[in-house]
Amino acid sequence: MTEIAYVARMLLRRLWTSHNALTQTHTQHTRHLTSTHTHLEKALPPRPKILDSEIQESFLKGSGPGGQKINKTSSAVQIKHLPTGIVVKSQDTRSREHNRKLARNLLAEKLDQMEKGEGSRMAIKGARMREKKASADKKARRKYRKLGEGKAGGKEGSGDEGMVGVESGAGDEAMDGEDVDGQAGRAQELPPKTKVPSPG
């Protein structure tokens, strides 16, 4: 019994080791494919840096949904960019620090759009989203066009084209009024023989 148990234990260990090796190889391969896919798309340009001396930051009480945390605490952030006069406000979350970060990002994107126009980060993101949507729409149109052509082809093909004739042999005897076994009277139940159109 001990030899059998030892052999069984060794086989299980060998199987477990090979399974772990396969899993690790699969994970590395998947990670490699994912990383190469993300590198195919060009990186967005960085947001412009905003100096603290150029902004005036104020904290306000929020409004709308969110309960007491929004309505009674000053968690909403309003930032004014002094050189340009642009004002942005963020109250997306109940955290003041998170709202500060969101407001600064929003201000940076607005400044970037003013400065670069079509080359700005937001314009590039918008163009990419429009391309993806147009590609998805085109794919859907192509799919439904093929489905429509398939249905139209099925309606036009009615008549002799869709019917397949009976092969020669036993069927010829049945068409003559006799069954394969030599019985008569079954020819009325079989469909009429039609010609199959040649592919040329």
Q: Is residue 21 part of a domain?
A: no
Decide the pairing of beta strands 76-81 and 55-60. Answer: antiparallel
The answer to whether residue 30 is domain-embedded is no
The pair of structure tokens assigned to 6 is 């030892």
In a domain, residue 32? The reply is no
Q: Does a structural domain hold residue 3?
A: no
Question: Domains in the chain: how many in total?
Answer: 1
Q: What is the pTM of this model?
A: 0.47
pLDDT for position 88: 93
Look at residue 179 and tell me whether its pLDDT is greater than 50.
Answer: no
pLDDT tens-digit readout, 54-101: 889 999 888 877 777 787 888 899 999 999 999 999 988 888 899 999
Cβ pair 117, 50 in contact under 8 A = no
Q: How far apart are CA 110 and CA 121, in angstroms?
A: 10
pLDDT of residue 1: 59
pLDDT score recorded for residue 162: 44
Distance CA 77, CA 100 (A): 6
Q: 59 — phi, psi (to 5°)?
A: -115, 125
Residue 186 lies in a domain: no
Contacts of residue 180, defined as CB under 8 A and 6 or more positions apart, other chains included, come to 170, 173, 174
Considering just the CA atoms, what is the radius of gyration of the chain in Å?
Answer: 37
- Category of 67 on φ-ψ map: left (φ > 0), alpha (ψ -120 to 50) or beta: left
Q: Look up the CATH number of the domain holding residue 61.
A: 3.30.160.20
Residue with more model confidence, 11 or 81: 81
Query: pLDDT band for position 32 (50/70/90)?
Result: low
Q: Is residue 101 part of a domain?
A: yes
- Closest by alpha carbon to 60, among 86, 82, 85, 91? 91
Using alpha carbons, select from 104, 97, 115, 99 the residue that is nearest to residue 80: 104
CA 163 to chain CA centroid, Å, is: 41
Q: What is the pLDDT of residue 80?
A: 94
Q: Residue 80: give the domain boundaries.
A: 52-117
Inside any domain, residue 126? no
What does the alpha-carbon distance between residue 22 and residue 16 come to, in Å, rounded to a whole number?
10
For residue 73, tell me if it sits in a domain: yes
